[in-house]
Chain A
Amino acid sequence: MSETSDTQQNDLPKVFIDDILMSLKYFTDEHEAHLKIIDTQVCINCKDKPCIQFCPVGAYRTQDGGTVQIAFQSCIECGTCRVMCPPANVSWKLPRGGFGVAYKFG
């Protein structure tokens, strides 16, 4: 299976997620980040960093030195990172009442 998915991966179109996120409305909490990396060193040691791939809004990005940063402002509160971060290194909370994504259509 991995062989087929390797070849298939090549036909994935490049998508600039930021263009897509323009369609979303957010009420950003300027005082509190609801997502946090628990231990930055754990991310440096994490070889695959699958969060960069699986986050549906691309909120996880690598920095110089192998750390991972979360653009919590883009989060749509799906929960994938909480469940799938291999070393469970994400502190995941819901945004405070009224904050976060606000779907216009849903």
Chain B
Amino acid sequence: MDKNQKLEFDVIVVGAGLSGSAAAAIAARSGLKVAIVERGQNPGSKNYFGGALYTHSLLEIYPDLWDRKPPLERPVTETGFWFLSKDGLVKATVQGGKVNSNPIDAYVALRAKFDAWWAEQAQKEGAFIIPKTLVVDFIRENGKVVGVKTDRDQGDIYAPVVIITEGVNNLLTQKLGLAKHDIKGDSAALAVKQLISIPAATINARFGLTDNDHGLAMSVMGDVSMGLPGLGFIYTGVDCVSVGVGVTLEALREAGIKPYELLQRYMNHPMIAPLIAGGRLMEYGAHIIPEGGWKDMPQLYTDGVLVAGDAASMVNALHWEGTNMAIVAGKCAAETAIEAHQKKDFSAKSLSSYRTRLDKRFIMTDLHQYRNLSHFLKTHPDFMAIYPTFINDALGMFFTGFGKPKGQLYKDILRSLTDRRPLLKAVGDIVAFGRTIIGI
């Protein structure tokens, strides 16, 4: 290439994650010239989650998804909550019925594999991937962003629209002043995970799964986080199991514990250890989850720039949603970029239709509804210490109270709650929790 020739595209996408490659695919499909700049060796090599992907969001980008043979693990045919006490477990899970939908609602996936494929699909739509390249700054003309500076020699790339999908460490979003502050310790969680290799037949036997086309995705509460504000999880892949736990950064620092020891403690739990016994560690990892949602959301657009995904704090921590928001928001950003090209207007005012698009979807309404979740966990730090253990005690006593006067049994059950939390405060907790999830 001629040294003096400007490297120019119609759209630059920063980061080949779920949001970025979705945005790139939609923009490229409309005929725009799209570059995805990815800092990893390959798309996917920096990307990490629990986790499961939501079919609706994948189908929204690729209606012919199944013909493309996505590298997914198992469909989620059983899901719900596991409540852990120190040595016990209450399961509140659902299978069949609404979960047995067509298509199945969620699939377990491994991001390094999936995101590489996801980026490849964007490439098939015509997007150009520039890997091993870090975006370090923006190119501005008359105060407007007109491209990005990368860490390559002569690494300037120009485009009238830049879609930032840089992930949770949204330093570029901060650099533009769209995010007013860095991630906050009380509204972000550090999640650590071990991926453990276990033969598929053993997984089926241990988790009660009919075959490899059945899988499980569980949220785990209580002793998993030593009662700290946080959640654990367990997901079954085809021949691997993901086990992990996340707690807020602030709780982690305050407790003075090592996250990988917290994880090992969970894996040693008498109800968990048999499920993963004899397994070999395939990979360890950690990632921050921007659980602040609505309250930590940056400004979503400015002249020549749109922000989507984790970079825009699009996470609903209670419902484990984030990947689907990232994908749909990526699509909304791309549609906005396409429209801006049609109008030849890349001003903030023109790009503000991005917000309108997000408002029309579940993204903004859900994030707004759950806007107080982080605050609830902060003001109810013992919530995860009290209730999962109480549920274990209560059900344990209820189902073993043989030969005991039942009046006494119910008193004992009530006392196992009030020993931990005065009744009025417990009622207050439940009301506060209800208000938080309803969003009032």
Contact = CB atoms under 8 A, between A and B. Distances in A.
Interface residues of A, number: 43
B228 to A, nearest CB: 7
B357 interface: no
Given A20-B260, A104-B282, 9 more contacts: A9-B255, A9-B256, A11-B265, A20-B194, A56-B260, A80-B190, A94-B134, A102-B42, A106-B283
Nearest to A21: B284
A96 B39 CA distance: 7
Nearest to B45: A102
Contacts of B226: 5, 8
A96 B190 contact: no
B266 to A, nearest CB: 10
7 contacts: A20-B284, A53-B258, A54-B258, A98-B131, A100-B46, A106-B49, A106-B115
A12 B262 contact: yes
Contacts of A57: 260, 286
B176 interface: no
Contacts of A54: 190, 249, 252-253, 258-259
Given A56-B286, A79-B288, A98-B131, A13 B265 contact: yes
Contacts of A105: 110-113, 195, 240, 282-283
Nearest to B226: A8
A4 interface: yes
Contact of A97 (B133, B260, B283): B133
Interface string A26-64: 010000000000000000000010100110111000000
Interface residues of B, number: 65
B150 interface: yes
Interface of A: 1, 4-5, 8-9, 11-15, 17, 20-21, 23-24, 27, 48, 50, 53-54, 56-58, 76-80, 82-84, 94-98, 100-106
Contacts of A106: 44-45, 47-49, 110-115, 283, 285
B107 to A, nearest CB: 14
A58 B258 contact: yes
Interface string B145-177: 000001110000000000000001101000000
Contacts of A12: 257-258, 261-262, 264-265
Given A103-B46, A106-B44, A106-B48, A96 B151 contact: yes
Question: Which of A8, A14, A100 has most B Cβ within 10 Å?
Answer: A8
Interface stretch (B59-67, B181-189, B200-208, B428-436): B181-189
A15 B260 CA distance: 7
B215 to A, nearest CB: 16
B434 to A, nearest CB: 23
B41 interface: yes
A22 B258 CA distance: 18
B382 interface: yes
Nearest to B42: A102
A103 B249 contact: no
B169 A98 contact: no
Contact of B286 (A1, A8, A15, A76): A76
A92 to B, nearest CB: 8
Nearest 4 CB-CB pairs, A to B?
Answer: A98-B132, A106-B111, A106-B112, A56-B286
A77 B40 CA distance: 12
Contacts of B262: 12
